[in-house]
Each structure stands twice: as structure tokens, then as C-alpha cells.
Chains A and B, each alone.
Chain A
Amino acid sequence: MRGVGKTFERGTVALDALDLELREGEFVSLLGPSGCGKSTALRIIAGLSTVSEGIIEWPNGAGQIGFVFQEPTLMPWANVAANVQLPLTLAGTDEMSSRATVTQSLQRVGLANFANAFPRELSGGMKMRASIARALVTGPQLLLMDEPFAALDEITRFKLNNDLLAVWRELRRTVIFVTHSVFESVYLSQRIVVMTPRPGRVFGEIAIDVPYPRDERFRTSAEYAGFCRQVAETLGKAMATAGAP
């Protein structure tokens, strides 16, 4: 998978000649301050937004895409199972054959006991789990996540970070994870792409060469702190090129 040079325009230039290359099965974070066009880049990859310049190439075909929004974006009138089933329903899969897939997807995120609950009865973290289960239910090749845990408290976020990594290690799908948290991006990803704000472009890339599984020990290690400092410095330089934030 290879995304090449995308410029996007909506009056303001959100992305300017953004080059991004993705390998199958890797976990990449897009890191940058708000307004640097990370979300726009994600939406373009998902096909929810059009490019005004440049192209996106899919050497192996685009395939299925799963998207996790910043908000859980669940349908309040439907229970968790129906929400997770939605992508299958829209694809015309019949009820019987999708039931097993839905159950499996719910188990994967630890929500098997909440299939009949309504979104309003769930906590913020559980809503996000349901949203991830929905994104996984079609067995997507590519999972796009747009600051999914930004609104959660730290304890819940750490837990979801771990669970997300577990799911990723099991399924080995490509994940593009948009975040503005240096710590979250270092903990999760194999590679961090740092972006500059207004117009958004790639400033630098940092590989996090730490084997998985990563756990709480990694989170408190000197190695982790070192990576965080390196990424934060790069981010600082990226901000400086753009002038005042």
C-alpha cells in the first residue's frame, strides 16, 4: 500500500504534498498538533474526502477499510449487537451468518456480555470498544483510527491501548492511528509519522524498534522515555517550521 502526494483544499490548504508509504500489517501513528490535517489525511484514505492534487495508489487493491472516529459514533436507537452488525447489514449479509461474526467481534473487544445493552448504558471506554468491534466486524485490511481514545481518562486509555495491541497482534492488519499524544504514539506504533501544521505535510519519521508484546514495563522503561523525548523533539521542530501554533 502506498499513498503518494496528496494536496487537499477547502479554501485553506489542509495538506500540502503529503507523502506517505504504508506497508501491509504495520502499525503507524500520525502525530501532530490539532489542525495539521491528520484527520483529513485519514478521511482521504478512507475515501470519505476527495483529493484536489496527487494520487493514492493501492498496489494490492483497496480492500475493506474499518474506521474508528474520535467519538464512538454509535446509533443510540440500536443495541450494541445491532451497532456492530451495521457494516454487515449494509453489505446485505443475512442475519444468521452475521450473528457469529458479530459475537466474535464483540468477544475480541471484551463486550460479549453487553450485546443487548444500549449505547447510553455504556461507559465511554465501552462505547469506544463497541466502535472498534464495529470497525473489525468486516475483517478489514486497513484500520483507520482518528484519535479514538482522546476523550477517555488515562486509566481507560492505557487499558484500551493494551487491548488494541493485543487485537492487532492477533489479526496483523495495517493500522493507521491518528493522535496528538507523543506517549500514546510511542507506546503503540512501529513507526511514527510526525506532521507539520498548516499546511499539513510529513516532517519526519521515527521508527520505534521495540518488539511486541509491549506492556506496562515498557511504559515505564528508560527506553520508552528516550523514544518519547526523541519524538517530542521532532514534534517541536515540526511546530517551529510552521511558526506560531
Chain B
Amino acid sequence: MSDRVLRLGLPILVLTVGGFIWHLVVQIFTIPPFVLPGPGLVLATLFADSGLLWNSLLVTLLTTFQGFLLAAVGGIGLAILFNQSRFVEYSLYPYAVILQVTPIVAIAPLLLIYLPQPLAVLACAWIVAFFPVLANTTLGLNSVDHNLLALFELYKASRWQLLWNLKLPSALPQMLAGLRIAGGLSLIGAVVAEIAAGSAGAGSGLAYRIAESGYRLNIPRMFAALLLLSLAGVAIFFALSGVSYLMLRRWHESAIERER
């Protein structure tokens, strides 16, 4: 119980103290808002511009969600395909790695040339997010207990039964870990692509708002948008952690509290 209070209380205390110091610094040195707005002004802007920011948030979240979904389907699907056919794995895996190691900021402008803008943003979110799903799921599918494999062989399980009844459930923890990373990454992918697109003068996502407010020296709105983005990232992380916990709590060590 006291651990729980500390876990929740300490970050809030740090936030309050940090905000207060920030506020004091701005007050004492009379820093103009276009250089550094105080926390009060940021919050005020968040509420004043809430309509605009909220719509932008929805746009970014929608892209993030779509990118995440595609990454999940693509990553898990590709991992299953790799697991079923060594031929496919050897042919495609190097390119999955190349796609992953090439910085997304460098790919985004190219995608924006060839694809309509919403699609390009979505593609960026997908590219960044799918690799952890692929890598983790592949690891999970390959780490099946050898005795269980022998058992399934003994009872003459079909390929499909082997996949559905053994490999997928036993890969679930790794798969969920991959998805948890992918959730945050698809937000990053969406934001990067929006920034890249924003300089081309189109878009209405939250990242575009940040870029636009920067050009207009509307620094309080930049901070407000940034705050929203962080909150969105935190919410995604907690949502996915929750899903992971719910799916693993009955059987996997990671979700079970240790008894002492």
C-alpha cells in the first residue's frame, strides 16, 4: 500500500515542484512568453485552443492507431510467414532490417513525393512500428519448448494445429512486448512524417500544429501541443500494458506478482 502511494505520489510531487520552479524562473527573470511561457500560460493556451488542438490530436491519434494496427497485422503476419517458410524468411528478413535501420526522417520526404500526404504519414508510422512486432514475434515463435514440440509431433498435430495451439500462444508474451513498443513508435512515426509534411505546407495533425506554431512564434501553443502529444504517448503505453497484463496474468511470470 505504501509502495503504491509512493509510486503515485512521488512523480506528482516532482511535477508540482518542477512546475513551480519553472513558474518562478519565468516570473523572476521576466522572460517574455515568445521565449519561454510559464506553465500557467501553457495550460491556459491548452484550454483556449482546445478545439483546434483536440481536432489535431484526433488526426494524429487516428494515424497512429491505423499505423499500429497495420504494424501489428504486418509484423505478426510476416513473423508467422517467416516461421512457416525458411525460404521466405531468408529472402525478406534483410530488407525488413534495412527498413528498420534507415532513419525514418530520411525516408519521410521521399514517401511524401510518391504518396498522397495522409497515406505517406501512415506509411511512416507503419515502417517505424512494424519491426519490433516482427522481431519479437519471430523470437517468440522460435522459442517454443522443445518437449512440447515433440509432444505435438507424437500426436501428429497438423501444421495449423502446431501454429494455433502451440506456437502462437507460447509466443504471446514476446508478441505483446513487441506491440507495446510498436504503440509508442507508431506515434513517433506519425509525428515525424507530419513534421516532414508540415514543412511542405499541408496537414492538420498535432505535430503539424507544433511546426506551424513555431513559424508563428506561438510558443505557448507549441508547449500545449507537445504536452498533449506526451499525454497521448503515455496513454497508449498504459493501454497496451493493460492489455498485456490482462492476457498474461493467469500464467506468465511477467504478469504475476512475486510472493515473498
Binds B, one of A65-73, A189-197, A222-230, A234-242: A65-73
- In the assembled complex, the CB of B143 is this many whole angstroms from the nearest CB of chain A, namely 13
Taken together as a complex, chains A and B put the C-alpha atoms of A118 and B157 apart, in Å, by: 23
Residue of B at shortest CB range from A91?
A: B155
Cβ–Cβ contact A90 & B251, under 8 A: no
A-B CB pair tally, cutoff 8 Å: 52
A89 within 8 A of B: yes
Distance, CA A78 to CA B172, complexed state (A):
13
Q: Are B251 and A73 in contact (CB under 8 A)?
A: no
Q: Determine whether the beta carbon of B154 is less than 8 Å from that of A120.
A: no
Q: A46's closest neighbor in chain B, by CB? A: B154
B247 → A minimal CB distance (Å): 9
B155:A69 contact, CB within 8 angstroms: no
Question: Is B150 an interface position by the 8 A CB rule?
Answer: yes
CB-CB under 8 A for A75 and B172, given A48-B153, A65-B154: no
Quick one: given A48-B154, A77-B170, are A69 and B251 in contact (CB under 8 Å)? no
B155 and A90 contacting across the interface, CB-CB below 8 Å: yes
Interface size on B, residues (CB 8 A): 22
Residue B91 lies at the interface, judged by CB distance under 8 Å to chain A: no
Q: How far is the CA of A213 from the CA of B253 in the complex (A)?
A: 42
Q: When each residue 71-96 of chain A gets 1 if its CB lies under 8 Å from chain B and 0 otherwise, what string results?
A: 10101111000000011011100000
A69 near B151 (CB under 8 angstroms)? yes
5 A-B pairs closest in CB distance: A73-B147, A90-B155, A76-B251, A77-B169, A90-B157
CB<8 Å pairs between A and B, sample of 13 = A48-B154, A67-B151, A73-B145, A73-B148, A75-B169, A77-B169, A77-B172, A77-B251, A90-B157, A90-B161, A90-B165, A120-B251, A120-B256
